[in-house]
Amino acid sequence: MKWLPVVLACLQLAEGAVRISLKKGLSIRDKMRAAGVLDDFLKHIKYDPVKKYQSSQSSVVREPITNHLDSSYFGEISIGEPPQKFLVLFDTGSSNLWVPSMNCKSPACFNHAKFQPSDSATFTSSGQSHTVSYGSGSLCLADLGSLPLQIQSVTVTQQEFGLSQEEPTQPFYFADFDGILGMAYPSLAVGGMATALEGMLDQDQLSEPVFSFYFSRQPTYEYGGELILGGIDPQLFQGDITWAPVTQKLYWQVALEDFAVGQSVSSWCSQGCQAIVDTGTFLLTVPQEYIESILEALGAQETSYGVSYAVDCSDTQSLPPIAFGIGGARLLLSPSAYVLNSNGYCTLAIEATYLPSQDGQPLWILGDVFLKEYYTIFDMANNRVGFALSA
């Protein structure tokens, strides 16, 4: 599934810059302000997230993640008082928080939890509407407002969020989650809405300005992994952490130094490539201009549907690993990771990148297929992403 958004106006766009409120005090906000974080809450503060985690484990929040059909990962949040519960996809490829509105009449809203404004006495609509277009479809957000947001013990007293007024049948009707909680940079948020992470940092809800994801290689509906807010868990990974600086503060985007199939390193990234680390995209996405070369190298054939690439299941174990050069390290994916086997029908977990490149360099998306192999750390203070082999 593809959730990375392109921002468009629905009815009326709010003017003004992204709102950041970092107050003084002996807190993480004070550290970030001292580092010059007034217009962007993600600046350089030197600290060791592993060491910090070990010294403050009790204040790190774990959010269990559910897996649905091995294609999406989501968890539970509550909004309002009394709390109304929703299942949301925690999406590092977008920045807005939204859930379905009681007024949504689209078929996609019928089989999902819907927000009841009448059950929250303090909810007031801003009267604004916006459209968010993801890779898999667009929806219209209306009745923007703010109410308490709770994720486990994390509570943001007034969190801005949107209510979907219209949702496309594909893919939302078939999704097992109700809405999306975006975790990318504030600059990607529609209409300048404050992100959930901004609220957590502004109200000192995180022990450290970091969050991390663990996706189980053998997920079940009951347990697909964990989102860890405010730290990392060394028990969920092995070996060293490879760090890569964020190259553009929009998505969690890093430089891809090279790409290899087996021992053959391509020249595709000799002039630079970019990769977006996205929990909301399931597959790996490859720049369109390289699809044919990868299919040839892996012996795959385009299916009659034209959107998937088949390989012989009996040959899977003989396929070469593929490797991504990131942060000076070579991050490998074995055939068992990048080949999907559905009852004896095998396809590559690869599709063409559906986003235009922001800087002209070939753009890749490292989705859940990649993230199941690598525990991933999003370091908001140092603007970097960490990768370590999952335990």
Q: Are residues 102 and 222 in the same domain?
A: yes
Domain boundary among 176, 208, 229: 229
292 shares a domain with 152: no
The pTM assigned to this predicted structure is 0.85
Does one domain contain both 182 and 297?
no
Res 157 pLDDT > 70 = yes
Do 189 and 47 lie in one domain? The reply is yes
| The predicted structure's pLDDT at residue 50 | 58
Residue 348 sits in the same domain as residue 373: yes
Strands, sheet with 301-302, edge to edge from the N-terminal-most edge strand: 301-302, 309-311, 345-348, 339-342
| pLDDT higher than 70, residue 154 | yes
pLDDT tens per residue across span 55-95: 444 468 999 999 887 778 899 999 999 999 999 999 999 99
Strand ranges, E, within 13-68: 61-68
Does the residue 378 lie in any domain?
A: yes
Compare 32 and 234 and report the one with higher pLDDT.
234
Containing structural domain, residue 221: 6-229
Does residue 180 fall inside a structural domain?
yes
208 and 293 part of one domain? no
Same domain, 242 and 174: no
Same domain, 119 and 238: no
- Rounded to whole angstroms, the Cα distance separating 210 from 5 reads 23
Catalytic residue among 233, 278, 368, 379: 278
Do 385 and 377 contact (CB within 8 A), yes or no?
yes
Integer Cα distance of 181 and 261 in angstroms: 35
> 169: which residues sit within 8 A by CB, 6+ positions away?
106, 107, 108
Whether 354 is covered by a domain: the verdict is yes
Note the pLDDT of residue 48.
58
**Is residue 44 domain-shared with residue 186, that is, in the same domain?**
yes
Residues 153, 224 share a domain: yes
Q: Which of 91, 178, 202, 233 is catalytic?
A: 91
- Is residue 367 one of the residues assigned to a domain? yes
Provide the domain count of the chain: 2
Question: Is position 278 annotated as part of the catalytic site?
Answer: yes
Active site residue 91: yes
Looking at the structure, tell me whether residues 14 and 123 fall in a common domain: yes
- Confidence at 364, pLDDT banded by 50, 70, 90: very high
In this structure, the answer to whether residues 219 and 275 fall within a common structural domain is no
Of 204, 229, 254, the domain-final residue: 229
The answer to whether position 44 is within a domain reads yes
Instruction: Out of 229, 262, 285, pick the residue that ends a domain.
Output: 229
* 12 pLDDT higher than 50: no
Calculate mean pLDDT across residues 158-165.
Answer: 91
CATH number where 120 lies:
2.40.70.10
Q: Exposure pattern of 6-19 as b/e (b: 16+ CB <10 Å)? A: ebeebeebeeeebe
pLDDT value at 11 more than 50: no
**Is residue 1 domain-resident?**
no
Burial class, 277, CB count within 10 angstroms (exposed 0-12 / middle 13-18 / buried 19+): buried
Judged by average pLDDT, the poorest of 35-39, 165-169, 201-205, 351-355 is: 35-39
